[in-house]
Homo-oligomer: A and B are copies of this chain.
Amino acid sequence: MRAAKRKTEVRQEQIAQSALTLIARHGFHRLSIAALAREVGVVPSAIYRHYQGKEEVLDAVLELVSQRLLENVEAARRETANALERLHALLMRHVALVQNGVPIPRVVFSEEIFTGHRKRRQRVHQIFQQYLGRVAGMIQEGQRAGAIRSEFSPVTLSVMFLGLVQPSAILWLMSEGEFDFPQHVQNAWQVYCRMIQTKN
């Protein structure tokens, strides 16, 4: 059966989304043009009507991931004005993102990143730094408002914030659901929160 004709912008979006889905399901290195085309409902060579090649598709996927992450930050900001509550909200959203299969771990930890083309590694690094920057910003605001202890650097605290999710996410991915991911992040948050908040 022949696939319907779509405008290239629409197809580009479809392709990037499908790529994200496939990576979430089977990982980065199993993303072949053939599988991607099948998911979109099109023939492999059709992909090349909308992207110059696989590299360009991967770049598009990265942009999608970046978008999701920053959307989360904005949503958390809107949710509450309190710094600690914002961090907590962001953490929960991050957990949901990982659980719903947005393959942040898979993309970020992927070998294609570390050993692939330099430009892409730099882009991921940039995405990371952007995200960390926003988190550090939240922390700094909390410090200025007197809700978070000022003796620790926001940068250090922001990287540690990432450390609340990452190991748990990996354990969860490996344990086939046995490891209680949200519960554990919750526990870690309790400890982290107790540590950084000012006493009263």
Mark A residues whose CB is within 8 Å of B.
26-30, 105-106, 108-115, 121-122, 124-125, 128, 152-153, 156-157, 159-160, 162-164, 166-168, 170-171, 173-176, 184, 187-188, 191-192, 194-195
Contact = CB atoms under 8 A, between A and B. Distances in A.
Given A29-B115, A163-B188, A166-B166, 7 more contacts: A30-B111, A159-B167, A159-B171, A159-B188, A160-B163, A162-B167, A163-B166
Contacts of A184: 156, 159
Contacts of A109: 105, 109-111, 170
B173 A114 contact: yes
Given A29-B29, A163-B163, A195-B194, A174 B128 contact: yes
A115 B153 contact: no
Contacts of A122: 174
Contact of A108 (B125, B156, B170, B175): B170
A187 B26 contact: no
Contacts of A166: 163, 166-167, 170
Contacts of A192: 160
Contacts of A170: 108-109, 128, 166
A55 to B, nearest CB: 15
Contacts of A125: 171, 174-175
A175 B164 CA distance: 21
Contact of A163 (B30, B105, B110, B164): B164
